[in-house]
Amino acid sequence: MAGKPPRVGVLALQGDVREHVNVLESLGAEAVRIRRPDELRTVDGLIIPGGESSVIDKLARSFGMAEPVRAAIADGLPVYGTCAGLIMLADSIADGIEGQQSFGGLDVVVRRNAFGAQVESFETDLDVPELGDPPVHAVFIRAPLVESVGPAARALASLADGRVVAVAQGNVLGTAFHPEVTGETRFHERLLEMVRARLN
């Protein structure tokens, strides 16, 4: 139907779900909380929020969501993950707990506890060439890092020391930081662009 807003799910098993819902709604999307496979089938895009990746993994499996999310990503569903969501989208986790699994979709290796307990959070401005000016004000809260980027993925942003903190691959987008808490909407806008392109 013409003019119908894109319907984007936020995986609502654990983490900062409400903040993503608020950003999506501010951009004119219909935002829905997703906990079950039948709900996943109703959305045009998906956000995997920050939280604790090992908990999201366990809950995704116990709710029967792990395989449906993997299948949706492989089928081209536009997906954006922040912080723990980035970990869940990595093909490989460098320091996962025993048995920890991810959804995959990004040809990257991610380290969960990249900054150590002593430096749990910080803020910085990042140049993201694909998003243009101004720089992205990024908040890192117990953040992961992308240790290596495989040939299928590409880096979108790095810290001043070169460590990668934002990546993309096809229909999948991931950031180690939390734009949903700073009023930064361009990554969510990029997700909605991917959703609209897939619907057209």
HEC secondary structure over 138-200: EEEECCCEEEEECCCCEEEEECCCCCEEEEEECCEEEECCCHHHCCCCHHHHHHHHHHHHHHC
Average pLDDT of the segment spanning 42-48: 98
Active-site residue list: 83, 178, 180
- Element at 25 (helix H, strand E): helix 17-26
Tell me the sheet residues that pair with 138: 124
Q: Does some domain include residue 100?
A: yes
Q: Is the peptide bond before 134 cis (omega within 30 degrees of 0)?
A: yes
pLDDT of 119 above 70: no
pLDDT of 6 above 70: yes
Q: Does some domain include residue 2?
A: no
Q: Does some domain include residue 17?
A: yes
Q: Determine contact, residues 68/36, Cβ cutoff 8 Å.
A: no
Full domain range(s) for residue 55:
7-199
Q: Does some domain include residue 1?
A: no
Model confidence band, residue 117 (pLDDT cutoffs 50, 70, 90): low
Summarised one tens digit per residue, pLDDT across range 48-85 is 999 999 999 999 999 999 999 999 999 999 999 999 99
Q: Does some domain include residue 163?
A: yes
Q: Does some domain include residue 66?
A: yes
Return all residues near 160 (Cβ < 8 A) that are at least 6 apart: 124
pLDDT of residue 200: 85
Provide the whole-model pTM: 0.95
CATH number at residue 12: 3.40.50.880
pLDDT of 24 above 90: yes
Count: domains in the chain: 1
Q: Does some domain include residue 78?
A: yes
